């Protein structure tokens, strides 16, 4: 059977790619050091497949067709369409893993979820900034999963915890000896297209870190549903961290680094959930 060997989460601000050369050396060093450490840890796990959770930034879906979860089941997926990403991450296509993608889809349906599916997703900066900055070469096969974190109604935190547990069970029941790593991207606090754009809610970020370190599922769900009402809209991307946390069994959280970085408009967090041997 396949084995979930690791779970990670990382921020993915587009400014990291679009304005990299304009960032101060201190900010570039902070981002580089965190992604380098995360990349080193991820590469050491020798994954065959990455299951990546990210919002879709209006490149595949819009408000006329916006699924809560969409699983990519294609043989390959398109690389990032944004011009600023093409300049630093020139991948026209990225490899998929249709067998695992379809297995996750079937397990989700069996667990009373109703996800959408796609035979070919466009993987935007949310998926690809971490892949680029971690320096993965070659890039493993990817099962991309988009999570609606942009426009209400959003999946509840409780639902995301259940989705993470479903992913864990699906991976464990997949036939074969694949080594699988889950990567949740996005967050922590930031605000896009709002009057508060550029502000970072450090208390919210530290609450998230504390919850992943020692909170119960009930505490995570109740606290985040309440706190997300009063932080920037980009904070909703913490759902991908919640999914990774649940997939890891709700334990083993190890903060690689956290820094509020006004230059990239994001409270940048980087973390690993260390799996049991």
Q: Which of 190, 236, 245, 265 is catalytic?
A: 190
* Residue among 190, 268, 200, 244 nearest 32 (CA): 268
125 is catalytic: yes
Task: Please give the Cα distance from 6 to 274 (Å, whole number).
Answer: 6
Dihedral angle sign, alpha carbons of residues 178, 45, 6, 116: negative
245 is catalytic: no
Q: Which of 12, 77, 103, 125 is catalytic?
A: 125
Instruction: Confirm if 228 and 256 have CB atoms less than 8 A apart.
Output: no
Please list the active-site residues. Answer: 125, 190
């Amino acid at each position: 059977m396949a084995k979930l060997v690791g779970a990670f989460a990382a921020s993915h601000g587009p400014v990291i790619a679009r304005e990299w050369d304009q960032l101060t050396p201190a900010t570039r060093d902070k981002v580089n050091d965190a992604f380098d450490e995360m990349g080193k840890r991820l590469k050491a796990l020798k994954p065959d497949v990455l299951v990546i959770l990210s919002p879709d930034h209006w490149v595949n879906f819009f408000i006329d067709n916006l699924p809560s979860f969409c699983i990519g089941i294609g043989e390959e997926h398109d690389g990032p369409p944004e011009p600023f990403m093409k300049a630093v991450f020139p991948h026209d296509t990225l490899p998929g893993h249709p067998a695992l993608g379809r297995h996750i889809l079937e397990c989700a349906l069996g667990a009373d979820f109703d996800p959408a599916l796609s035979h070919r997703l466009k993987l935007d900066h949310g998926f690809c900034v971490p892949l680029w900055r971690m320096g993965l070469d070659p890039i493993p096969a990817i099962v991309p999963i988009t999570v609606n974190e942009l426009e209400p109604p959003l999946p509840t935190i409780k639902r995301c915890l259940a989705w993470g547990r479903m992913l864990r069970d699906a991976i464990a029941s997949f036939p074969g000896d694949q080594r699988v790593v889950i990567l949740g991207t996005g967050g922590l606090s930031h605000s896009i297209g709002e009057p508060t754009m550029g502000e970072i809610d450090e208390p919210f970020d530290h609450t998230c870190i504390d919850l992943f370190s020692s909170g119960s599922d009930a505490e995570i769900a109740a606290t985040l549903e309440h706190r997300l009402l009063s932080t920037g809209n980009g904070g909703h991307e913490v759902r991908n961290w919640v999914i990774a946390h649940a997939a890891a069994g709700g334990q083993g959280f190890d903060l690689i680094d956290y820094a509020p970085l006004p230059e990239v408009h994001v409270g940048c967090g980087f973390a690993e959930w260390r799996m049991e041997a």
